[in-house]
């Protein structure tokens, strides 16, 4: 029996194929137990603006499945192999699950496999291992453990490895840090290392990916973070031969910048600076909980979401409803290529409350935001040249609290 988990990462060596579904789809998970496919052509073909009179285009639901029930928390797409992975946090059952689905061109999902896991996974990622036989590893980190799963055959998933974490010092915030709580597993740009921010122990746990001859990962010495800060998510940027990592802390509402180097084939994180999630000299609300960070495809911008602030009031997205809506913020930063410094350039409404997770498409023209408290998905237009976020491009109201959104590309 594996130790309890509360975040996950998918690690995979992919054999890219020509068979994959349309890129005009968005996959959405929610605590309703459903994974829903939304059609994005509604917004791309509409000229409607986000004004109160015109409203915002509604995204059509193409398909929905409860094959990942009960508490789907994160989706990860292996687009080349037309496979979607879903982790179930197990909030009601006390035990999580890992499911795999075949993605179809019409947006439907066909279940391939589902197996029981300990509770708690909330995140996922994919690693290209480069093996000729197409071996895949599904890495789950969270709760008090980091686990890997062989998903070479997505119809038959098997466990590989588990690393169990223990607290070595009293928690700075006993209410939120009573045990290790790795919240994400994120691959570095080389694909050779995994960073795991541990909200419970104020550390960034590091792992080296094993050789292509095996599927294991090797624990490395962790990097300490400010006590009580609660590391949540990370993102990397590569600028002019320099690599930077940005850590968002949930409890302190900060962004910590690191210079990343690779001495003697290892990895080293050197802390550079710390700013608030709204930018330097702009404190966040005391009620705020920082959430997601995403670096743009061109590596020039970083975007961060913050929850429980309600600092915007926006027109209702439904043209037939005149009631204004409360919204949390999305904060937009420019990345300095020489220093890695972040400069806030814009703050916009996320489209509702509790933007737990968001994704940017590969063209950098759209951001899809999952608004947990409102059961809403919102698309925001983005200018890839300036990095500026613009009007709402589309939205959907779905059952349950939204936990993740993933473009099909």
- Per-residue DSSP letters for 73-113? EEEEEEGGGTEEEEEE--TTTSSEEEEEEEE-TTS-EEEEE
pLDDT attached to residue 353: 98
| In this structure, CATH architecture of domain 9-407 | 7 Propeller (2.130)
Count the alpha carbons within 13 Å of 405 in the hemisphere toward its beta carbon: 31
Whether residue 329 is predicted with pLDDT greater than 90 in this model: the reply is yes
Please report which confidence band the pLDDT of residue 14 belongs to, taking 50, 70 and 90 as the band edges: very low
Contact between 398 and 32 (Cβ < 8 Å): yes
Whether residue 57 is predicted with pLDDT greater than 60 in this model: the reply is yes
Mean pLDDT for the stretch of residues 89-101:
86
Please report which confidence band the pLDDT of residue 119 belongs to, taking 50, 70 and 90 as the band edges: low
Nearest to 356 by CA among 297, 400, 301: 400
The string of pLDDT tens digits covering residues 337-374 is 999 999 999 999 999 999 999 999 999 999 999 999 99
CA distance linking residue 18 with residue 14, whole number of Å: 13
pTM (predicted TM-score) = 0.90
CA distance linking residue 124 with residue 8, whole number of Å: 5
Greater confidence (64 vs 93) lies with 64
- Per-residue DSSP letters for 250-286? TTTTEEEEEEEE-GGGS-EEEEEEEEETTBTT-PPPT
Alpha carbon 358 to chain centroid, angstroms:
7
CA distance linking residue 46 with residue 394, whole number of Å: 9
Question: Domain extents for the chain?
Answer: 9-407
Nearest to 207 by CA among 229, 225, 184: 184
The string of pLDDT tens digits covering residues 213-255 is 677 889 999 999 999 999 999 999 999 999 999 999 999 999 9
For the chain, what's the residue count? Answer: 409
């Amino acid at each position: 029996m594996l130790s309890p988990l509360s975040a996950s990462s998918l690690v995979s060596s992919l054999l890219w194929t020509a068979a994959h579904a349309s890129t005009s789809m968005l996959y959405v998970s929610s605590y309703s137990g459903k994974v829903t496919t939304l059609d994005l052509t509604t917004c791309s073909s509409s000229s409607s603006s986000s004004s109160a009179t015109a409203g915002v285009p509604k995204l059509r639901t193409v398909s929905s499945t409860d094959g990942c029930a009960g508490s789907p928390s994160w989706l990860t797409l292996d687009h080349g192999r037309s496979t979607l992975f879903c982790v179930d946090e197990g909030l009601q059952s006390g035990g999580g699950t890992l499911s795999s689905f075949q993605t179809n061109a019409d947006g439907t999902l066909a279940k391939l496999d589902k197996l029981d896991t300990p509770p708690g996974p909330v995140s996922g990622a994919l690693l290209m291992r480069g093996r000729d036989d197409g071996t895949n590893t599904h890495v789950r980190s969270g709760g008090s453990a980091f686990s890997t799963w062989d998903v070479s055959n997505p119809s038959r998933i098997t466990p590989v490895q588990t690393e169990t974490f223990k607290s070595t010092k009293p928690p700075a915030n006993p209410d939120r840090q009573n045990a290790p709580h790795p919240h994400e597993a994120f691959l570095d740009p080389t694909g050779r290392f995994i960073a795991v921010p541990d909200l419970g122990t104020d550390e960034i746990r590091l792992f080296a990916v094993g050789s292509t001859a095996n599927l294991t990962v090797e624990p490395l010495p962790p990097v300490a973070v400010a006590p009580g800060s609660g590391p949540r998510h990370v993102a990397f940027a590569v600028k002019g031969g320099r690599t930077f990592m940005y850590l968002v802390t949930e409890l302190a509402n900060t962004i910590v910048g690191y210079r990343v180097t690779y001495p003697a084939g290892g990895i080293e994180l050197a802390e550079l600076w710390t700013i608030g999630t709204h930018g330097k000299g702009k404190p966040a609300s005391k009620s705020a909980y920082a959430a997601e960070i995403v670096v743009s495809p061109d590596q020039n911008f970083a975007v961060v979401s913050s929850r429980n602030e309600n600092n915007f009031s926006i027109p209702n997205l439904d043209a037939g409803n005149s009631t204004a809506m409360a919204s949390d913020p999305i904060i937009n930063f420019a990345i300095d290529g020489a220093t890695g410094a972040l400069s806030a350039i814009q703050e916009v409404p996320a489209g509702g409350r509790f933007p737990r997770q968001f994704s940017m498409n590969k063209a950098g023209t759209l951001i899809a935001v999952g608004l947990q408290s409102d059961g809403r998905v919102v698309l925001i237009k983005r200018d890839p040249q300036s990095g500026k976020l613009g009007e709402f491009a589309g939205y959907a109201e779905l059952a349950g609290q939204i936990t993740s959104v993933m473009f099909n590309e």
